[in-house]
Each structure stands twice: as structure tokens, then as C-alpha cells.
């Protein structure tokens, strides 16, 4: 089947989802009002609260939620064939992620733009805040560990990308300094930054930087991947302490352009302007020869594709920064739901790149996915090669196209690592505050070291399989989504509206996630050895306990709200003010 045909059908479904389902959510479920006084107006301070054009805000929201995760998960999951992955990405994006991301913004806006953790405390119970912090702690630990591994593996596999990616750091700082000092819009400076960045790709190709495969440092014999992990966390620890406008924000400007350029390369490459025949899907729709070491597709598919269908990480962004900048309440539909469609498009791109793009560069799909271990370890590399193939369809040289694709993935993953480590510091400080440990709340240097060392340890131990870390990341991410859906469902129910749009994906996610956790508990604790048994096993059990806790809290809240609803006036807790 031509990859172009799949892309056309999926974009048609996404269009219908936005046209009809998001409208239903906006009018019948969330009850958006154009005249509602949003927090960006009510608390306007020009720093965090600032009414923002919905198109600009969409760009911020989309680039914040779209990292490397919607690439990695689908690129692994095609081991079962491209059709199951595609079905989950499409249905999950339209019916689960759309309701989740859109709802997170809508609820936060009606509660003074509070984050999802505080909302859990307000809407469900005081215990829910503790539950939220624990889930987020595990989520961020695993996010930081897996993305450090992803970047390190790409540095080893594609040493041509190292010069461009390190040039991006001073380049972003220069863009940030110019924008900050000149008080000018970031569009033109960041576009110039992208042009300069891509101009360094030939230099990177001419001078690839490859570390020795093994080396001795301080008496320790280290692999090249471990050295890169150490360097990455040293950089990320420093980056997480400097003001966001110096590096994080200007790099977001550059990466936002890279995101749209990458999507354009993928979907224009599918058309194949330089080819007579359209690129075909060479991967099987349903793989009849699933590797023996692969786990069962159900329930693992719905955890391995943790982003690109629905992601709890999005609720942190939606309620953390997006809600504070929403100009009109009705903009939440465009920003939140369209952001989900954007991430679903990136996941679609990963499926097409691994399903059709590999053949363009002469790679055999069945060899690349001969085992589940190779599918896991090679997922990002397969995506890079596939996008490189689409780039060649647009006239790029093979060397430029593959380095361009690797640069895009590393840029996204590095931004996620920067943001994740900063958020990890916030969470540890908040946990320290709840536990009454003053030093964790006030000593930023100590908290930064702790936030850096915990994921570093996970990423650094080479005995831990990436597939196991990725599955743990997936379960915590889906639990975070479950918590956010619980908050939204209770809020909708309390407003005497139908919460079925949240309850269906909530129940589905919990069933699939708990199933994976139970299977992995046996696999890690009973059958595992070494660090898998003694480190990942207890982590998996702890996440399973949090999942059960989440189910109990959600059920108790719905029962409590059902009893109390008759006694409360509609909209009493969040009565809207109007402009």
C-alpha cells in the first residue's frame, strides 16, 4: 500500500475529529464560553500570565508536548505490524488524547490556571496531591533516563550529528540574548538560527566525532555510551539551573521550526517528488512472524506507544503554562485538541518512516525487526534512516538527510531532558515541603544534584535493558494520563455534564496499564536477575501500588460527587466570571 494513501486517510480522520468531536467536547462536555474571563487576563503580569494569540500559543503548546517520545514508541510498536500501531495512534489521538489535553486546559482555566497536581487536590481529595507527586517523580526519573540513553545511542550511531547539536547551544544562547536585549519578536532571529544550524550539517558530516568504544576514566572502564550519558547529565544539570530565557526558551524557538520542517520532510517525502513510483509500505500490516522475545501485543502496545496516542506528560504542560496564556476560553479547543492532532501526526510520521522509509535507503525491514530487542534498540535509528529516505525523495543527499533526521531527534530529546530535569527539581522540592524536609525545599544545589543523580544511575547501568526502562516509562506516563482524566471526569460530572468521554479512555488505560504492571512484576521480580530484579522490580511494584491507589481515589471521588451533586448548585465551585 502506498504510504501516501495512509497519510491521506489519517489526515481525513483527524480533520473529522477536529470538526465534530472537538466541537462536541467544547459545547456539550466542557461548556466553553467566549466571554469567560480567563486567568491570563485576570492575573496578567507579563511574565507567566499573558493573553496570547491562539496560533502563537498553539506553537508553544505543540512544541512543548511533542518530544522524541511519539517517535520512539511507534517505531518500536511496528514490530507487530504497522496496522495495530496505526489504529491505536489514530483512535487514541482523536478520542483519548484530544479529550485529555483539551480537558486539562479547560479545567485548569476554570481553576485560576492551577496545575494538575493542585487540581487533583481540589477536585478529588487531599491524598490525590501526594499520589500525583509520586507518579510524577517516577515519570520524570524515567523520562530523563530513557532520553539520555536515546541521545547517547544516537551520538554513537550517528557521530556526524555531534558538531551541529553542540553548535545549537551557543546559537540558542545568542538568539536568546538578541531577543531579550532588543525586545524583538523571536521569529526572524530563530529562523536565522535554524538556517545556521543546518549549515553546520556538512561540517558534521566531514568531521564526525566518535569516542573510543571503551576508555578508562578515574580507574573505571567505561563504554562510549556511558561517557555520553555522563556528559549529557552534567550539561543538563547545569542547564536546569540557569534562567529559562537564556537557553531553554530560545532553543524551543529553534526546535519549533525544526518540528514543522521535519513533519514537512516526512509528508512531502511520502509523495516522492524525485521518484516515479510512490513509496510503499514494506512492513507487514500485521506481522505474521512476530519475534519470539516480543511481549503480547495486548496490552503492551498501549504502553509502548505512550506518546502519540495519549500522554500524561501533556497535562503538565496544558495546566502548567498553556492555561496561563489562553486568551479566550474557546481557544482551548484549537490549542489543546489541535496539539493532540499534531503529536498524532508525528507518531504517524514515525510509522511511515519505519514502515516505508527504510526501503528507500535499502534497509530490509524484516532484518531491522528480527527480534524485539533489536526493534527496541534500533527504533530511533530506524526512524532516522527512514526520514533520511524521505529526505532523499526531496533531493537531499543521503549523508545530509540522515544527519538532518538525527539532529531533529536529538534536539527534541535534549529539550525534553532539559525540561524534565528542571521539573524533577520542582517535584523533589515539593515532596520535601510535604515531608517537612526543609533542606530539600531550600537548597537548590542539593536538589539539583539529587534530581540529576537518580536518572543518571538508571541510564548509566548498562545491565538494564532499554526495553524494560521504556515500558516502565510508558506505564507511569499512562498513569499520569489516568490521573488527569480522573480529575477532568470528576469536574465534568460535578457540572452535571456527561463524563463518558473521559471515563472510557480512563478505564481502558487503567486496564491495559495494570495488566502490563502485573505481567512485568512477575517478569522482573520472579524471573529477573541482578538490577532488573532488585531495582526495576521494586519500581514496578511501587508503580502498580500507585495505579491501584489511583483506581480507588477515582471511584471514591465519583461516588462522593454523585451523592453531593444533588445538593450543590451547578458550577458553584468554579463559577465563571465574565469580561
The pLDDT, as a whole number, for residue 277 is: 64
Most confident stretch, 25-29, 217-221, 423-427: 25-29
Digit-coded pLDDT (tens) for 281-305: 999 999 999 999 999 999 999 999 9
Distance, first Cα to last Cα, the chain: 53
Evaluate whether 85 touches 301 at the Cβ level (below 8 Å): yes
Look at residue 344 and give its three-state secondary structure.
helix
- Is residue 39 exposed (0-12), middle (13-18) or buried (19+ Cβ within 10 Å)? buried
| For range 338-348, the mean pLDDT | 94
Q: Which three cell numbers stand for residue 404?
A: 538532518
Do the domain assignments include residue 578? no
Look at residue 210 and give its three-state secondary structure.
coil
Following DSSP, what letter does each residue of 227-267 receive, concatenated?
HHHHHHHHHHHHHTTS-TTTTHHHHHHHHHHHHHHHHHHHH
- Residues 353, 389: Cα–Cα separation, whole Å: 8
Do the domain assignments include residue 46? yes
How far is CA 8 from its chain centroid? 24
Q: Give me the number of domains the chain comprises.
A: 1
Answer left, alpha or beta for residue 530, where phi above 0 means left and psi between -120 and 50 means alpha. Answer: left
Evaluate whether 455 touches 145 at the Cβ level (below 8 Å): yes
Do the domain assignments include residue 435? yes
Q: Is the pLDDT of residue 575 over 50?
A: no
Evaluate whether 77 touches 305 at the Cβ level (below 8 Å): yes
- Residues 35, 223: Cα–Cα separation, whole Å: 59
Do the domain assignments include residue 55? yes
Evaluate whether 405 touches 199 at the Cβ level (below 8 Å): no
Q: Which residue has the higher pLDDT, 275 or 422?
A: 422
- Residues 521, 542: Cα–Cα separation, whole Å: 10
| For range 343-372, the mean pLDDT | 93
Digit-coded pLDDT (tens) for 69-106: 899 999 999 999 999 999 999 999 999 999 999 999 99
Most confident stretch, 95-104, 424-433, 528-537: 95-104
Q: CATH number of the domain that 525 lies in?
A: 1.20.1740.10
- Residues 393, 216: Cα–Cα separation, whole Å: 43
| For range 7-29, the mean pLDDT | 97
Is the previous residue joined to 206 through a cis bond, with omega within 30 degrees of 0?
A: no
Do the domain assignments include residue 574? no
- According to DSSP, the residues that pair with 173 across neighbouring strands are none
Do the domain assignments include residue 461? yes
- State the pTM of this model: 0.89
pLDDT band at 156; cut points 50, 70, 90: very high
Do the domain assignments include residue 570? no
- Residues 2, 277: Cα–Cα separation, whole Å: 9
Evaluate whether 304 touches 76 at the Cβ level (below 8 Å): yes
Q: Are β-strands 220-223 and 214-217 bridged in parallel, bridged antiparallel, or unpaired?
A: antiparallel
Q: Is the pLDDT of residue 134 over 60?
A: yes
- Residues 135, 341: Cα–Cα separation, whole Å: 26
The pLDDT, as a whole number, for residue 535 is: 86
Length of the chain: 579
Do the domain assignments include residue 90? yes
- Residues 499, 489: Cα–Cα separation, whole Å: 5
What domain range includes position 290?
Answer: 3-565
Amino acid at each position: 500500500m502506498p504510504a501516501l494513501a495512509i497519510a491521506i486517510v489519517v489526515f481525513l480522520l483527524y480533520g473529522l475529529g477536529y470538526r465534530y468531536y472537538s466541537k462536541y467536547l467544547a459545547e456539550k462536555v466542557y461548556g466553553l464560553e467566549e466571554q469567560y474571563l480567563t486567568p491570563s487576563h485576570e492575573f496578567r503580569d507579563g511574565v507567566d500570565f499573558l493573553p496570547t494569540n491562539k496560533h502563537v500559543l498553539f506553537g508553544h503548546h505543540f512544541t512543548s508536548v511533542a518530544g522524541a517520545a511519539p517517535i520512539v514508541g511507534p517505531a518500536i510498536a511496528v514490530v507487530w505490524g504497522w496496522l495495530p500501531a496505526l489504529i491505536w495512534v489514530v483512535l487514541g489521538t482523536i478520542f483519548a488524547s484530544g479529550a485529555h489535553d483539551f480537558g486539562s486546559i479547560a479545567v485548569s482555566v476554570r481553576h485560576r490556571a492551577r496545575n494538575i497536581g493542585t487540581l487533583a487536590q481540589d477536585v478529588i481529595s487531599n491524598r490525590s496531591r501526594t499520589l500525583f507527586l509520586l507518579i510524577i517523580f517516577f515519570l520524570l526519573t524515567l523520562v530523563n533516563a530513557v532520553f539520555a540513553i536515546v541521545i547517547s545511542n544516537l551520538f554513537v550511531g550517528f557521530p556526524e550529528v555531534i558538531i551541529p547539536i553542540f553548535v545549537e547551544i551557543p546559537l540558542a544562547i545568542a538568539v536568546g540574548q538578541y531577543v531579550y536585549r532588543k525586545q524583538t519578536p523571536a521569529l526572524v532571529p530563530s529562523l536565522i538560527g535554524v538556517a545556521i544550524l543546518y549549515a553546520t550539517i556538512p561540517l558534521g558530516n566531514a568531521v564526525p566525532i566518535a569516542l573510543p568504544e571503551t576508555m578508562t576514566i578515574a580507574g573505571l572502564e567505561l563504554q562510549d555510551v556511558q561517557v555520553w550519558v555522563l556528559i549529557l547529565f552534567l550539561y543538563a544539570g547545569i542547564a536546569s539551573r540557569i534562567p529559562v530565557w537564556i537557553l531553554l526558551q530560545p532553543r524551543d524557538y529553534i526546535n519549533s521550526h525544526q518540528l514543522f520542517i521535519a513533519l514537512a520532510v516526512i509528508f512531502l517525502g511520502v509523495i516522492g517528488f524525485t521518484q516515479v513510483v510512490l513509496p510503499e509500505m514494506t512492513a507487514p500490516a500485521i506481522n505474521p512472524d512476530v519475534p519470539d522475545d516480543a511481549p503480547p501485543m495486548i496490552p503492551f502496545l498501549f504502553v509502548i506507544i505512550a506518546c502519540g496516542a495519549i500522554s500524561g506528560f501533556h497535562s503538565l504542560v496544558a495546566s502548567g503554562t498553556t492555561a496561563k496564556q489562553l486568551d479566550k476560553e474557546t481557544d482551548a479547543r484549537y490549542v489543546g485538541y489541535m496539539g493532540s492532532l499534531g503529536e498524532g501526526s508525528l507518531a504517524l510520521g514515525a510509522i511511515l518512516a519505519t514502515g516505508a522509509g527504510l526501503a528507500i535507503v535499502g534497509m530490509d525491514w524484516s532484518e531491522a525487526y528480527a527480534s524485539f530487542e533489536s526493534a527496541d534498540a534500533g527504533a530511533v535509528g530506524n526512524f532516522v534512516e527512514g526520514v533520511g529516505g524521505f529526505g532523499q525523495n526531496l533531493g537531499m543527499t543521503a549523508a545530509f538527510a540522515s544527519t538532518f533526521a538525527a539532529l531533529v531527534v536529538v534536539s527534541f530529546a535534549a529539550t525534553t531532558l532539559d525540561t524534565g530535569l528542571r521539573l524533577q527539581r520542582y517535584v523533589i522540592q515539593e515532596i520535601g515541603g510535604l515531608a517537612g524536609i526543609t533542606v530539600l525545599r531550600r537548597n537548590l544545589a542539593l536538589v539539583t544534584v539529587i534530581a540529576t543523580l537518580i536518572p543518571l544511575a538508571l541510564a548509566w547501568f548498562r545491565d538494564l535493558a532499554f526495553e524494560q526502562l521504556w515500558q516502565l516509562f510508558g506505564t507511569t506516563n499512562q498513569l499520569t494520563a489516568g490521573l488527569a482524566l480522573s480529575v477532568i471526569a470528576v469536574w465534568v460530572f460535578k457540572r452535571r455534564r456527561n463524563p463518558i468521554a473521559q471515563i472510557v479512555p480512563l478505564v481502558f488505560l487503567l486496564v491495559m496499564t495494570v495488566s502490563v504492571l502485573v505481567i512485568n512484576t512477575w517478569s522482573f521480580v520472579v524471573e529477573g536477575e541482578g538490577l532488573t530484579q532488585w531495582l526495576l522490580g521494586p519500581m514496578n511494584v511501587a508503580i502498580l501500588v500507585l495505579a491501584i491507589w489511583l483506581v480507588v481515589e477515582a471511584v471514591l471521588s465519583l461516588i462522593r460527587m454523585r451523592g453531593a451533586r444533588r445538593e450543590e448548585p451547578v458550577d458553584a465551585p468554579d463559577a465563571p466570571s465574565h469580561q
